[in-house]
Chain A
Amino acid sequence: MTTISPSQTTRHRRGRLRRFSSALILAALFVASGSCSRYEPPPFRLNLEGLDRTEADSSGTLRYSDEKLQQIVDATTALFGTPDEPFVFEETELDIALLRRAAGPVSSDEHGNPRGLYREHCAHCHGVTGDGAGPTALFLNPYPRDFRPGVFKFTSTHQGGKPTDEDLRRTMVRGIPGTAMPSFALLPEEDLDALIEYVKYLSMRGESEQLIFPLVIDDEEELDEDILLEEVLEPVVGLWQSSTLPQFVVVPEEPRPSDRAASIAAGRELFQGERGCAKCHGPTGLGDGTERNYDMWNNKKLNLDREDVAARWSLPLQELRPRNLRHGVYRGGRRPLDIYRRIYAGVKGTPMPAAGPPYGQPARSDAMPEGSKNLSSAQIWNLVDYVLSLPNEEHPEIASAERPAESPKAGSPGGAGG
């Protein structure tokens, strides 16, 4: 028998306490890991960008009450389903098999076909809802595209037109240089098809949601399927289908001029003078025009203080820099045709205006009176040639350090092996 001294008793107790607490921690870990493995399907986030939820009418009732917002969610879900179980009406002409390939959690079906491609490759930046506010979005400039307004910067279509499938494919295959959008050229063709379809789906869904808002909030209509199809889906889908028809694709009316030097000189005239390109892009094309610019995803946040913006938008205000045309980095593609289309139809959603005529109007010809604002095909080619000549143009006001055309011949041997 041993006698236990008081100090030994406390030590004994402490040891027991420690064992007990470690057991508790272990138990907590088990519970936590159990709840992690239980999958909760994420919802589409209701588009509340810019809404002031505290807004009330004269009688003091909230304009955006929880019940009303729930009605909007229900109506949108009735039209498009959920992130895990997409649904589309025939009218959208979207392929449900492709949508299923892109939607839902990352996995594969019984034939080994991938599922959840959107969440695997896109949602990190563009968000599950396609709101351009995924976890990485805050750190990027420019922000990832918010698909919900249905506006895409780089399209081959006329002013106000939607992107064609080919445009979306090109953006995914080439990436967008100068932004965080990488190339997905290595994805199999069918996966790209699925993602294109899903981007269109998210876009149509987001636009429909915006059309449902006034129906519920202002008109207080009882929404049935007929109303939804007629007043929501039809206008949204109609524009997607009509504006991407082959005849709405911008095609130059004449080939690129063969006398490059003369074309560049004419382009310089237009850039510096009549067209006012220099106002934003700067007289030297460095993108240092004096105006502050904001794109359509940001300009509604202007003149609000930071707290207001933080309360009502997912992302803070972001300024839009006019492109520095001397970097030789072309976000919408570097083919002369790409630049032609950027100038012809503008960069959608940004202050970059369309220089070509809207669809169906004749372009300006020499026979037309001065003062007509549209540029002719030849003039647009002049601007294209001038813009493409800028990265390698010598300019007395620009230090050589600002030019990107560094010589790749230099380079010291060595450097750490990976």
Chain B
Amino acid sequence: MGKFWSLVFLSVPVLGVAVFVAAASWGYWFPQNVSAHGGQIDHLFMVILWLTGAVFLATEIVLAVSLWRFDGAKSPRARFSRGNMRIELGLAAVVGLLLVFITVYQLEDWAEAKIRQPDLPPTVEVNGRQFEWVMRYPGPNGELGDADDLFSPGDLHVPVDEDILVSLVSEDVLHSFYLPNLRIKQDAVPGMRIPVWFRATETGVFDLVCAELCGWGHYKMAGRLIVESRADYEAFLTRLEAEQNEDGFEEQQPTAANTSQRHPSVAEVVYRRAAR
């Protein structure tokens, strides 16, 4: 029976590795990277995947070999062992060194992504609330947080190949601002204003989602990241500004004053009767 179980357990690492190898060709791998620093994040991911993959394989192979060799039929008597202090210390040291290695290895990338905030005014404020993302752009005066700010629910427009500083806030509960194509994921915490920065390298429309379970509508708390050329971006802001300052005045439009001059239609009579 030991051989049977050994093969069953061996199938786990074999199938596991096979799935990882085949995943990319099935289309299940990283989403397209359009971020200047996304390559570093992907690299870290791969380093950790190789490390954990090696440990996983080693552990599984030891398990399978043990099952094969120490079959109950072959060695019916269990033998008591106090363990081997040297081997255990050695394993602990290897694991500890690996952790130290990961810590040191990622320091620079972490600093790039989370600590060395670029010295520029915020491009946009992103406000997470149940269950939408609302972007707030500085108006014509360039200052965020005053009367001429422009609001864009759902759509985050940014110019391509420029450093973008997002000022991230939450209106109600924990959300997580997740741009998979930019390898950006940052919690939005109520009461905190958290800076997030990136530089998008390709134009297109990408996903903006919430990656923190924030309530029943979490699954549809989505938006769009629209990376566009500087000209398109400015056209967008102009459009937003024109829309937001709309006063609705048009010379030729019929108004209450001039429509009342003509003979009222049946609809108007019905409406006036009801409105009284």
Contact = CB atoms under 8 A, between A and B. Distances in A.
B256 A357 contact: yes
B125 interface: yes
Interface string B219-247: 01111100000000000000000011111
B193 interface: yes
B271 A407 contact: no
A154 to B, nearest CB: 15
A12 interface: no
B68 interface: no
A175 interface: yes
Contacts of B274: 160, 235, 238-239, 242-243
Contact of B115 (A239, A357, A392, A413): A413
Interface stretch (A27-35, A251-259, A311-319): A251-259
A413 B114 contact: yes
A247 interface: yes
Contact of A239 (B176, B256, B271): B271
A239 B255 CA distance: 19
A185 B247 contact: no
Nearest to B210: A418
A87 interface: no
B89 interface: no
B259 interface: yes
Contacts of A130: none
Given A247-B254, A252-B247, A359-B256, A408 B275 contact: no
Given A340-B248, A361-B256, A414 B115 contact: yes
A169 interface: no
Contacts of B267: 238, 241-242, 245
A400 B216 CA distance: 36
A299 to B, nearest CB: 20
Given A186-B223, A408-B145, A161 B195 contact: no
A409 B121 contact: yes
B187 A413 contact: no
Given A242-B270, A247-B254, A358-B275, A185 B154 contact: yes
A64 interface: no
A185 B135 CA distance: 13
Given A177-B134, A418-B185, A389 B147 contact: yes
A395 B202 CA distance: 47
Which of A389, A391, A409 gathers most chain B CB within 10 Å? A409
A141 interface: no
Dominant SS at the B interface? mixed
A363 interface: yes
B271 A161 contact: yes
Contacts of B177: 418
A175 B256 contact: no
Contact of A362 (B246, B248, B257): B257
B178 interface: yes
Interface string A229-269: 00000010011011101111011111110000000000000
B248 A247 contact: no
Contacts of B246: 335-337
Nearest to B194: A415
B114 A414 contact: yes
A411 B193 contact: yes
Contacts of B268: 242, 245, 247, 359-360
B9 interface: no
A342 to B, nearest CB: 13
Interface string A381-407: 100000011011000000000000111
A136 B131 CA distance: 13
Interface string A160-191: 11000000000001110100101101100000
A418 B186 contact: yes
Contacts of A362: 256-257, 260
A60 interface: no
A247 B259 contact: yes
B3 interface: no
A418 B145 contact: no
A256 B255 CA distance: 16
B130 interface: yes
A417 B186 contact: yes
B145 A405 contact: yes
Nearest to B155: A185
B153 A185 contact: yes
Nearest to B167: A408
A279 to B, nearest CB: 25
Given A174-B153, A238-B274, A337-B248, 4 more contacts: A242-B270, A336-B245, A360-B268, A414-B115
17 contacts: A175-B153, A186-B222, A243-B271, A247-B254, A247-B259, A251-B248, A254-B249, A256-B249, A335-B247, A336-B247, A341-B248, A356-B256, A411-B194, A414-B115, A415-B189, A418-B176, A418-B178
Which 5 pairs of residues, A with B, have the shortest CB-CB distance?
Answer: A242-B267, A418-B176, A337-B248, A160-B275, A183-B153
Interface of A: 121, 124, 136, 158-161, 173-175, 177, 180, 182-183, 185-186, 235, 238-239, 241-243, 245-248, 250-256, 328, 334-337, 340-341, 356-363, 381, 388-389, 391-392, 405-411, 413-418
